[in-house]
Amino acid sequence: MTETKPLNVSLSCLREILQAEVLCGEELLGGNAEGIYASDLMSDVLAYGNAGSILLTGLCTKQAVITAFLALFKAVVFIRGKLPTPEMIAFAKEKHLVVFMTETDMFEACLKLGYLAGVVQSDTLQQCEFEDKHVSHHEFMIEGSDFANSGMVSTSVKQILQSIGYDPMLIRRVAISTYEAEMNVVMHAHRGKVFLTAGDREIVVVIDDEGKGIPDIDLAMQRGFSTATEEQRALGFGSGMGLPNIKKSTDDLNISSVVGKGTRLEAHFLVQQPPSQ
Partner 1 sequence: MKLQELLAKTGWKLVTKLDDKEITGVVISDMLSDVMTNAKPGELWLTVQTHKNTISAANLVDISAIVVTHGKEIPADTVALANRFRVNIISCELATFELVRKLVGLGIGA
- Per CB under 8 A, residues contacting partner 1 are 147-148, 150-152, 154-155, 158, 168, 172, 175-176, 179-180, 183, 235-242, 245, 248
How far CA 117 is from CA of 93, 108, 121, 210, 262, in Å, comes to: 27, 14, 9, 42, 42
Least separation, in Å, of the C-beta of 275 and partner 1? 18
Minimum CB distance to partner 1 smaller for 175 or for 220: 175
Least separation, in Å, of the C-beta of 194 and partner 1? 14
Q: Which residues pair with 78 in a beta bridge?
A: 57, 101
Minimum CB distance to partner 1 smaller for 30 or for 236: 236
In order, the DSSP letters of 95-123 are: TT-EEEE-SS-HHHHHHHHHHHTTSS-HH
Give the angle subtended at the CA of 160 by the CAs of 113 and 242, to the nearest 5°.
Answer: 105
Minimum CB distance to partner 1 smaller for 1 or for 148: 148
Minimum CB distance to partner 1 smaller for 58 or for 151: 151
Least separation, in Å, of the C-beta of 168 and partner 1? 8
Give the angle subtended at the CA of 94 by the CAs of 88 and 98, to the nearest 5°.
Answer: 70
Contact between 11 and 98 under an 8 Å Cβ cutoff? The reply is: yes
Minimum CB distance to partner 1 smaller for 94 or for 231: 231
Which of the 8 DSSP states describes residue 193? E
Minimum CB distance to partner 1 smaller for 115 or for 179: 179
Q: Is the dihedral of CA 245, 167, 103, 83 positive or negative?
A: negative
Least separation, in Å, of the C-beta of 31 and partner 1? 52
Q: Cα-flanking dihedrals φ and ψ of residue 93, to 5°? A: -60, -50
Rounded Cα–Cα distance for residues 264 and 266 (Å): 7
Rounded Cα–Cα distance for residues 32 and 11 (Å): 6
Least separation, in Å, of the C-beta of 193 and partner 1? 19
Minimum CB distance to partner 1 smaller for 197 or for 245: 245
Question: Residue type at 158?
Answer: K
Least separation, in Å, of the C-beta of 236 and partner 1? 5
Rounded Cα–Cα distance for residues 200 and 217 (Å): 31
Least separation, in Å, of the C-beta of 241 and partner 1? 4
Contact between 228 and 237 under an 8 Å Cβ cutoff? The reply is: yes
